[in-house]
Amino acid sequence: MRYPLINRFKGSLLGALLGEVLAKNAEGQYNSCSDASKIAVLGVQSLIELGKLDIDNWLERDQKKSPDLDISDGFLPKAIIVTLPVTVFFHENTTNLRQNLLHVLQIWADDPIVRDGILAVGYAIAQCLTEKFHPRTLIPEIIAFIGETSTLLPEKLLKLNDLLDAEVGLESAQAEFSREAEPSNAIAMAFYCFLSTLEDLHLGVLRSTHQDNTWQGETKNLNSQTITTITGALSGAYNSTTGIPVKWQVLLCPTNLAIWELTNFSQVLELADALVAVWSGVYDPALHLKEYPEEGCLRGEEQSQLCVFASPRVIQSR
């Protein structure tokens, strides 16, 4: 494997957060994905404890711990964050992946473009995690994965494919996808920023933050948030944590996350190791879960030992 699965997963999470933070450069705007990260934490905890997706359990945690969560405003970027753990947990089987992503989305959204956007991003990330990613065939594969739809996303993705084949520049791509204030344009633009800078997460995310004058008003802000979040998530999954520049890793330190009210993202990253361990089949609660106050169970120091896990059917050095 080029990069360990856990590094790709964390890279995708951090990439999405980077995109979110860079898109919201106005003071006091950084907590826009705080609710989404809270829901992601609850989802990861449910997956870890049950070893499967249980929507009822997830909803129960949501109602019990965070009854006032609202991710309806600007939902698509937040939905990317919420569904990332589900994508990782079911990335090996595209049929299960599609089924479970749709199952999660039924809880919070019934917007067809949100559905198609999550399926497109989820499929691309899954291909990165399984190292079956092929840039030239990705777009047709995504369109097939989405299936029948009433949105314009397949049409926009086909146009994107033509632009990539023609090797057009950033300004030309923006001119094409900024003609209408349409979410499918933002999704296509995010895939352009990712696919045109595959090996360079730094450049890809920076390009996603560049705004042409044709993107105006409130729609401009929403599009920017969507583009950068998706670009960061995709490029993070492809390049893993090693592709994130040191200065950006410092930017995402726990202290700054606390200032931006994004401490839940730190918790997601802490739980990422346990989630991948559950997926690989070697999870031991005593090694990963620090505390269960409601059960009166506390992890002892004697249980803190090294736990190594890898993808199934892959020979690893000891």
More confident residue, 261 or 301: 261
pLDDT score recorded for residue 304: 40
Which phi and psi (to 5°) does residue 297 adopt?
-110, 120
Check pLDDT > 70 for residue 220.
no
More confident residue, 34 or 176: 176
Domain boundaries, the chain: 5-280
pTM for this prediction: 0.83
The whole-angstrom separation of Cα 139 and Cα 238 is 16
pLDDT band at 55 (very low <50, low <70, confident <90, very high): confident
Check pLDDT > 50 for residue 314.
yes
| pLDDT 10s digits, 159-172 | 999 999 999 999 89
The whole-angstrom separation of Cα 299 and Cα 284 is 11
| pLDDT 10s digits, 200-213 | 999 999 999 876 55
pLDDT score recorded for residue 28: 44
pLDDT score recorded for residue 221: 47
How high does pLDDT run on average in the chain?
A: 80
Check pLDDT > 60 for residue 122.
yes
Other Cβ atoms closer than 10 A to 156: 21
Cβ–Cβ < 8 Å for 225, 77: yes
pLDDT score recorded for residue 74: 62
5-280 maps to which CATH number? Answer: 1.10.4080.10
